[in-house]
């Protein structure tokens, strides 16, 4: 089948960690014989047409390069609220809608697969293309709707253009029904490149145990809670937070005030991430809201003890005994302490088996193509 994937973020070059799971997804589909091409916003220094991780991609320019700041930084919804934001958003959506319209006319795809309703589903409706559309929600795009009636109205309008609506977790399916009043048609978690997490050895050695967190350094990821939890340990450990984001400075100050030894290596190449897990004594995912919980999935693939908050999609990955309530610092401290001294390795092993079964690239491709076929059938009945 031929598919256009429309997204506001995709790896910009081989090894770029930006939404790296999407290149794993497109690679799985292309390996299965399907022709998938990507349309995404341009960013400074990029060509307009490229091949990234073996996937053809068109980067759509929407402003002078020094003003192309909406995508790839995890800050789109915040920038959109600034005085200069609305014109940038309007320009990006209009020009991407035009690019999608031209691509559909010239290439005649079987389906358009949209990742994140904001802005992708809006762009697709603006384009007015007569082609089956799948909209795939990842969590952050529903989080911005919850408690905002005006955005709820916009989201419902955007999703009315979809022939099929998919989400990455069972929790997100419930939140979507509550937030926008639409039933989800399918559960389709994003894949992991499972081979990358096999037979990896640690590349560094410290004289103290490493407690590892991975993700964007933004408040909703809960890393401030993790700093506080580590501060409550009797053990001398190193807290290592891999990723970048606007909360880095505040986290460094918080750690210093609480006597926590904090390492902030910044964003790293995805190829180096398995070695980070291998070097960790325990991995913690302290998120306040999580669409799926890929960090937890990656950790159990590596056989690492994991502590995670009971935040959305992580429940599809981990047993309840590995979870703590969101924001419960004392419980997080206790569970980290337990994982350092007496980890529940059988529970980790069970979770790893579940991840291999459900999040493999092959399983993802099979789910996706089945969804495309159902979207095509639904589109015929809507015409």
| C-beta of residue 29 within 8 angstroms of C-beta of residue 369 | yes
Percentage of the chain modeled with pLDDT above 70: 98
Per-residue tokens: 190: 């994003």
User: For residue range 189-207, what is the model confidence (pLDDT) as tens digits?
Assistant: 999 999 888 777 656 666 7
Torsion angles phi and psi, residue 155, rounded to 5: -65, -40
Query: Rounded distance, CA 302 to CA 172, Å?
Result: 26
What CATH superfamily classification does 194-358 receive?
Glycogen Phosphorylase B; (3.40.50.2000)
Report the half-sphere exposure of 237 (CA within 13 A, side-chain side): 28
Q: Write the DSSP string, 49-70.
A: EEEETTEEEEEEP-S-GGG--S
Query: Rounded distance, CA 74 to CA 143, Å?
Result: 13
User: For residue range 270-326, what is the model confidence (pLDDT) as tens digits?
Assistant: 889 999 999 999 999 999 987 778 899 999 999 999 999 998 788 888 888 889 999
Q: Which residue intervals of the chain bear CATH 3.40.50.2000?
A: 2-191+360-382, 194-358
Strands (E), the chain: 2-6, 35-41, 49-52, 55-60, 111-115, 133-137, 164-167, 186-187, 210-214, 238-242, 261-266, 282-285, 306-309, 323-324
Compare 337 and 315 and report the one with higher pLDDT.
Answer: 337
Percentage of the chain modeled with pLDDT above 90: 80
Query: Rounded distance, CA 135 to CA 125, Å?
Result: 11
Helical packing angle, 294-301 and 345-358, nearest 10°:
110
Domain 2-191+360-382 of CATH type 3.40.50.720: no
User: For residue range 59-114, what is the model confidence (pLDDT) as tens digits?
Assistant: 999 999 999 999 998 778 778 878 888 999 999 999 999 999 999 999 999 999 99
């Amino acid at each position: 089948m031929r598919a256009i994937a429309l997204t506001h973020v995709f790896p910009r070059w081989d090894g770029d960690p930006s939404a790296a799971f999407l290149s794993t997804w497109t690679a799985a589909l292309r390996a299965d014989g399907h022709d998938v091409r990507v349309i995404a916003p341009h960013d400074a220094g990029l060509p307009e047409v490229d091949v990234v991780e073996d996937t053809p991609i068109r980067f759509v320019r929407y402003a002078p390069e020094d003003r192309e700041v909406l995508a790839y930084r995890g800050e789109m919804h915040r920038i959109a609220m600034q005085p200069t934001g609305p014109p940038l958003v309007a320009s990006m959506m209009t020009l991407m809608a035009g690019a999608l319209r031209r691509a559909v006319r010239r290439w005649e795809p079987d389906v358009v697969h949209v990742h994140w309703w904001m802005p992708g589903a809006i762009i697709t409706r603006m384009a007015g293309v007569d082609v089956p559309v799948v909209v795939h929600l990842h969590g952050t795009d529903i989080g911005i709707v919850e408690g905002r009636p005006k955005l709820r109205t916009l989201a419902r309008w955007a999703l009315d253009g979809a022939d099929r609506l998919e989400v990455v977790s069972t929790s997100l399916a419930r939140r979507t029904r509550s937030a926008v009043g639409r039933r989800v048609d399918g559960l389709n978690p994003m894949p992991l490149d499972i081979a990358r997490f096999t037979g990896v050895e640690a590349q560094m050695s410290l004289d103290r145990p490493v407690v590892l967190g991975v993700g964007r350094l933004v408040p909703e990821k809960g890393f401030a809670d993790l700093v506080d939890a580590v501060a409550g340990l009797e053990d001398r450990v190193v807290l290592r937070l891999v990723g970048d984001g606007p909360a880095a400075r505040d986290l460094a100050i918080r750690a210093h005030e609480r006597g926590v030894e904090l390492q902030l290596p910044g964003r790293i190449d995805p190829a180096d991430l398995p070695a980070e897990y291998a070097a960790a004594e325990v991995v913690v995912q302290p998120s306040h809201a999580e669409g799926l919980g890929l960090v937890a999935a990656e950790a159990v693939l590596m056989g690492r003890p994991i502590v995670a908050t009971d935040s959305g999609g992580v429940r599809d990955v981990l047993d309840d005994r590995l979870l703590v309530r969101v924001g419960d610092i004392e419980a997080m401290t206790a569970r980290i302490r337990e994982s350092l001294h007496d980890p529940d390795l059988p529970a980790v092993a069970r979770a790893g088996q579940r991840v291999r079964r459900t999040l493999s690239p092959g399983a993802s491709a099979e789910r996706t193509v089945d969804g495309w076929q159902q979207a095509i059938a639904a589109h015929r009945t809507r015409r």
